Amino acid sequence: EPEVTQTPSHQVTQMGQEVILRCVPISNHLYFYWYRQILGQKVEFLVSFYNNEISEKSEIFDDQFSVERPDGSNFTLKIRSTKLEDSAMYFCASSEGWWSRQTDSYNEQFFGPGTRLTVL
Amino acid sequence: AQSVAQPEDQVNVAEGNPLTVKCTYSVSGNPYLFWYVQYPNRGLQFLLKYITGDNLVKGSYGFEAEFNKSQTSFHLKKPSALVSDSALYFCAVRTRIYNQGGKLIFGQGTELSVKP
């Protein structure tokens, strides 16, 4: 069964450093997402991406964050200058489309296993 | 503002007994509703969704959920719990806005513990 993969599983960095989190979505999916979960808190939406541009972003997703699909398979989240409060589990997700005409239903999002980011 | 509430941080059930994990939501308009499960060191796995139609939705691993519009609830249920059902369960909602994207708004999660 196809699945979303993420690397690395755990990233430790110093405050102020840049990090890039990588995701490989399911191959025929067109919509891509990043979420994060600070320890003990809710899973929060960061950004959605479609057709090589951001579709929607939350207020968390400020100028320090950027996303890119550099090739046909990878989807990356970059944090330019990490802060202590960026420490969290970051989840990538993808979906086949927004709406399936075949099933007349909203396509669910499939999530990766997450990257745990620790900022020291 | 859209929100999802899971009032119980933890639910404890004996194996073989029925289980319920509660979820209530607050959105404008009609929602799309989802349940996801997270096992240790794994990503969120889709369990089931409510889009329209029958209020009782059946999903993976014998789980089902009941949509109640008047109570704005979408409780997850299973008639007979298994020890392997022990995990973290998340309820999520998306509003019916026909645009690109589709962010999910999650509840805080409920830890389900099934004892033998």
Residue B115 — very low, low, confident or very high, per pLDDT cuts 50/70/90?
very high
Instruction: Output the pLDDT for position B114.
Output: 97
Instruction: Output the pLDDT for position A85.
Output: 95
CA dihedral of residues B50, B105, B62, A101 (deg, nearest 10): 40
pLDDT digits (tens, 9 = 90+) for B3-62: 899 999 999 999 999 999 999 999 877 788 999 999 887 788 999 999 878 889 999 999
Instruction: Output the pLDDT for position A99.
Output: 61
**Closest C-alpha to A79, from A95, A93, A60:** A60
Instruction: Output the pLDDT for position B29.
Output: 75
User: Per-residue pLDDT averaged across B81-90, rounded?
Assistant: 96
Compute the radius of gyration of chain B from its Cα atoms: 14
Q: Cβ(B95)–Cβ(B105) under 8 Å? A: no
Instruction: Output the pLDDT for position B98.
Output: 58
| pLDDT > 70? residue B97 | no
Contact state of A106 with B49 under an 8 Å Cβ cutoff = yes
Instruction: For an interface test with B, give the residue of A6, A21, A108, A115 to mutate (most B CBs within 10 A).
Output: A108
B97 in reach of chain A (CB within 8 A):
no
Instruction: Output the pLDDT for position A71.
Output: 86
Q: What angle do CA B104, B107, B109 make, to 5 degrees?
A: 125
| pLDDT > 60? residue B109 | yes
pLDDT digits (tens, 9 = 90+) for A44-64: 999 999 888 998 899 999 999
Contact state of B43 with A112 under an 8 Å Cβ cutoff = yes
Instruction: Output the pLDDT for position B79.
Output: 96
Q: What are the b/e assignments for A89-104, b being 16+ CB within 10 Å?
A: bbbbbbbebbeeeeee
* Nearest-Cα residue of chain A relative to residue B53: A105
CA pair distance A114, A118, nearest whole angstrom: 13
Residue with tokens 């927004």: A98
Residues lower than pLDDT 50 in chain A: none
State the smallest CA–CA distance between residue B35 and chain A in angstroms: 10
- Chain A: which residues have CB within 8 Å of chain B? 4, 6, 31, 33, 35, 41-45, 48, 50-51, 55-56, 58, 91, 93, 95, 98-99, 105-106, 108-114
Residue B101 — very low, low, confident or very high, per pLDDT cuts 50/70/90?
low
For residue B95, list chain A residues with Cβ-Cβ distance below 8 A: none
| pLDDT > 80? residue B96 | no
Instruction: Output the pLDDT for position B42.
Output: 77
Of B43, B98, B103, the CB nearest to A113: B43
Contact state of A33 with B103 under an 8 Å Cβ cutoff = yes
